[in-house]
Chains A and B, each alone.
Chain A
Amino acid sequence: MSEPVLSVRGLRTTFSTDAGVLPAVDGVDLELHAGETLCVVGESGCGKSVTALSILRLLPEPPASIEAGEVIFDGCNLLELSNAELRKIRGSRIAMVFQEPMTSLNPVFSVGSQIDEALKIHTDLTRQGRRERVEELLTLVGIPAPAERYRDYPHQLSGGMRQRVMIAMALSCEPAVLIADEPTTALDVTIQAQILELLASLQERFHMAVLLITHDLGVVAETANRVAVLYAGRVVETGTVYEIFGAPRHPYTVGLMKAMPGRSVGHRAPLHVIPGVVPDLRDRPEGCSFRERCPRADAVCAEMDPELEAWGAESAVACHHPYVDERPAGEGG
């Protein structure tokens, strides 16, 4: 496999709260390859958004603090760049789309000018050139009559249209990596499917790598090449979409799959149906953090925290007793 365009290693991001230090992300490893879609899944609060925001250092510090790890993009560690150097990458090489289209745009500026702002920062285009480019982008994301929509303010557009604007903004400088944090969760089911389709077609067109965060296993099944499963601030399993759905190894992943009712987009899989609750991250118990909920847990699990270990070329799992019986022969390691 090719060199990853973006790799996250040992990322640890904490929040200082009144009740102590909360390690929301505690040793996350991810690799994103050119042109692929990596879906990050996991229960609410497992650290998906914090991981995504840490990559571009978009969390307010304090209370957040990125304590360890590296984010390698284009040969440099984003976590060590100066703010000015990082700003050159934000929005131009790595762009982001957020969950809340209703609040993610500035209410007092026209949508056109907000897309224009990114071009103004990252390109040498003239005013006229930028104007044309913005209209082109609006057309590209499926917004009709772009010249008129340019002057519209966010409140004049529907949620789906605003998310298209966000996507146009993110794509304006043709980034190598697009991070989309639950881009469709706030939208109607039919609009969700349209937006996902749009993202897929644009990904192909721009040869982007997409890091897609989602709750929805239906979305994963439709869009992912590879999947990373997060639990309590850690990656517990990664693999191709076929492995994750066809032969999940980590008991948590297995639980997620069992809990999934259907696999088409829009069938929201409620991820809370695995019995038990996530342990308090402020006071992480010894051993595996899933063991209270795990049917395979034993004495070893209570003592030793499992490391994420490579399993074959493309997958990895962090578990002392992974499901291996179901694996086809010759792939284990």
Chain B
Amino acid sequence: MIRYTAARLLQAIPVLLVVATVTFALLRLLPGGPFDREKALPPVILANIEARYHLDEPVARQYARYLAGLVRGDFGPSYKYPGRDVADILRDSFPVSIQLGAAALVLAMLLGVGAGLAAGMRAGTLQDRAIIGLTLLGISVPSFVLGAALVLGVALRFGWPPAGLWESPAYALLPALTLAAFPTAYIAQLTRTSVIEVAGRDFVRTARAKGVSEARVRWVHVLRNALLAVVTYFGPLLAMLLTGSFVVEQIFAIPGMGRFFVTAVTNRDYPLVMGVTLVYAALIVLSNLAVDLVYGWLDPRIRLAGDES
């Protein structure tokens, strides 16, 4: 397990290198530069600025310089926020996004799996149908609509929980709910389908033939197999929560990383785009590793390479 984890972490290095290279290349291929303005800057000043950020060097040189910086943990300066390092910006905004994402993730997993089990274990009942209805709603309502509805219908009407800014855990409530709505509904549907499918498998009949109680059939034999399908969704889910947080951070004026993801690209703030992309990529690599570890634990058929036990 430890060996497997270490090996996977080592494999992440080339993955991140590829991400860095491709992002670097794509940014340079984008038309326009970081200091293009409506009113063009005087050439002397522009040349000065470009020299300061080494933008006058050949691209290959700039690339090597960037990588050398990365190794030292230096993400470079931000062009758009002069005086601030990309590392500073990430240090301030990343924890906020991660808290929001984690809150939404936990919410989506708990509510989604719970609702999916409640529906799937009682397929065909009124309870099942009510949950299906709710999931359809959760999947079809866009987050900016839901976010606005929560702000107007809850925060403004009752004065709680707060909508906007990020000062205490209560501030995470509405944005996390907004962010979690779609994945909750999706996970609920996935769990329900999976439970119903597993409940029809042969080994469930074997368990009943053995005298196993209905509750144990459901909560032991069916549950563990049904969760396998849900765990596989965990990786894409995390990616979605991270990239999806942009809209939610806008609605609730949350000082997270999501807003940089978009504005940095329009600003051609090369180092900031690189920094944000690399952090996201690292997160996705980590979440995929987490999924594989959990999967290996749930499903004995998956033998993790390098795992001797």
A residues contacting B by CB (< 8 A) are: 53, 56, 58, 60, 83, 87-92, 95-96, 98, 100, 103-108, 110, 117-118, 121-122, 153, 155, 166, 169
Q: Which residues of B contact A58 (CB under 8 A)?
A: 205, 208-209
Please report the C-alpha to C-alpha distance between residue A121 and residue B301 in the assembled complex, in whole angstroms: 27
Please provide the 10 A-B residue pairs with the shortest distance between their CB atoms, ordered closest to farther.
Answer: A91-B211, A91-B210, A103-B202, A153-B300, A90-B211, A106-B203, A96-B209, A118-B210, A87-B211, A104-B202
Are B298 and A118 touching (Cβ within 8 A)?
A: no
Are A90 and B210 touching (Cβ within 8 A)?
A: yes
Query: Does any Cβ of A come within 8 Å of B213's Cβ?
Result: yes
| Chain B residue at smallest Cβ distance from A94 | B209
Query: Could you list 27 A-B pairs, sorted by A, with CB under 8 Å?
Result: A58-B205, A60-B200, A89-B211, A91-B209, A91-B211, A95-B209, A95-B210, A96-B206, A96-B209, A103-B202, A105-B206, A106-B206, A106-B207, A107-B299, A107-B301, A108-B224, A108-B225, A108-B298, A108-B300, A118-B210, A121-B211, A121-B213, A122-B211, A153-B301, A155-B301, A166-B206, A169-B210
Given contacts A58-B209, A90-B210, A107-B299, 11 further A-B contacts (CB under 8 A): A58-B205, A87-B213, A95-B209, A96-B209, A98-B209, A103-B202, A106-B206, A108-B228, A121-B211, A121-B212, A155-B301
| Chain B residue at smallest Cβ distance from A60 | B200
Please report the C-alpha to C-alpha distance between residue A98 and residue B207 in the assembled complex, in whole angstroms: 12
Q: CB within 8 Å of A: which of B217-234?
A: 221, 224-225, 228
In the assembled complex, the CB of B180 is this many whole angstroms from the nearest CB of chain A, namely 28
Query: Does any Cβ of A come within 8 Å of B37's Cβ?
Result: no
Q: Which residues of B contact A53 (CB under 8 A)?
A: 205
Q: Which residues of B contact A83 (CB under 8 A)?
A: 214
In the assembled complex, the CB of B64 is this many whole angstroms from the nearest CB of chain A, namely 49
| Chain B residue at smallest Cβ distance from A93 | B211
In the assembled complex, the CB of B70 is this many whole angstroms from the nearest CB of chain A, namely 42
Are A90 and B300 touching (Cβ within 8 A)?
A: no
| Chain B residue at smallest Cβ distance from A90 | B211
Are B210 and A121 touching (Cβ within 8 A)?
A: yes
Q: CB within 8 Å of A: which of B114-135?
A: none
Are B208 and A103 touching (Cβ within 8 A)?
A: no
| Chain A residue at smallest Cβ distance from B200 | A60
Please report the C-alpha to C-alpha distance between residue A83 and residue B216 in the assembled complex, in whole angstroms: 14
Q: Which residues of A contact B206 (CB under 8 A)?
A: 96, 98, 104-106, 166, 169
Please report the C-alpha to C-alpha distance between residue A316 and residue B203 in the assembled complex, in whole angstroms: 36
Are A56 and B209 touching (Cβ within 8 A)?
A: yes
Given contacts A108-B300, A153-B300, contact A118 B211 (CB under 8 A): yes
Q: CB within 8 Å of A: which of B22-72?
A: none
Q: Which residues of A contact B202 (CB under 8 A)?
A: 98, 100, 103-104
In the assembled complex, the CB of A293 is this many whole angstroms from the nearest CB of chain B, namely 33
Query: Does any Cβ of A come within 8 Å of B201's Cβ?
Result: yes
Are B300 and A88 touching (Cβ within 8 A)?
A: no
Given contacts A83-B214, A98-B202, A155-B301, contact A106 B225 (CB under 8 A): yes
| Chain B residue at smallest Cβ distance from A172 | B210
Q: Which of A60, A100, A107, A117 contacts B210 (CB 8 A)?
A: A117
| Chain B residue at smallest Cβ distance from A53 | B205
Are A107 and B203 touching (Cβ within 8 A)?
A: yes
Please report the C-alpha to C-alpha distance between residue A94 and residue B213 in the assembled complex, in whole angstroms: 16
Among A56, A105, A107, which residue has the most Cβ atoms of chain B within 10 A? A107
Please report the C-alpha to C-alpha distance between residue A104 and residue B207 in the assembled complex, in whole angstroms: 9
Q: Which residues of A contact B212 (CB under 8 A)?
A: 87, 91, 117, 121
| Chain A residue at smallest Cβ distance from B227 | A108
Q: Which residues of B contact A118 (CB under 8 A)?
A: 210-211
In the assembled complex, the CB of B210 is this many whole angstroms from the nearest CB of chain A, namely 4
In the assembled complex, the CB of A166 is this many whole angstroms from the nearest CB of chain B, namely 7
Please report the C-alpha to C-alpha distance between residue A41 and residue B144 in the assembled complex, in whole angstroms: 64
Q: Which residues of B contact A100 (CB under 8 A)?
A: 202
Among A83, A108, A153, which residue has the most Cβ atoms of chain B within 10 A? A108
Q: Which residues of B contact A88 (CB under 8 A)?
A: 211
Q: Which residues of B contact A110 (CB under 8 A)?
A: 300
| Chain B residue at smallest Cβ distance from A59 | B205
Please report the C-alpha to C-alpha distance between residue A56 and residue B210 in the assembled complex, in whole angstroms: 10
Please report the C-alpha to C-alpha distance between residue A56 and residue B207 in the assembled complex, in whole angstroms: 12
Q: Which residues of B contact A117 (CB under 8 A)?
A: 207, 210, 212
Residues 297-309 of chain B, each 1 if its beta carbon lies under 8 Å from chain A, else 0: 0111100000000
In the assembled complex, the CB of B69 is this many whole angstroms from the nearest CB of chain A, namely 47
| Chain B residue at smallest Cβ distance from A95 | B209
In the assembled complex, the CB of B217 is this many whole angstroms from the nearest CB of chain A, namely 10
| Chain A residue at smallest Cβ distance from B300 | A153
| Chain A residue at smallest Cβ distance from B201 | A103
Please report the C-alpha to C-alpha distance between residue A105 and residue B207 in the assembled complex, in whole angstroms: 8
Please report the C-alpha to C-alpha distance between residue A95 and residue B208 in the assembled complex, in whole angstroms: 10
| Chain B residue at smallest Cβ distance from A99 | B202
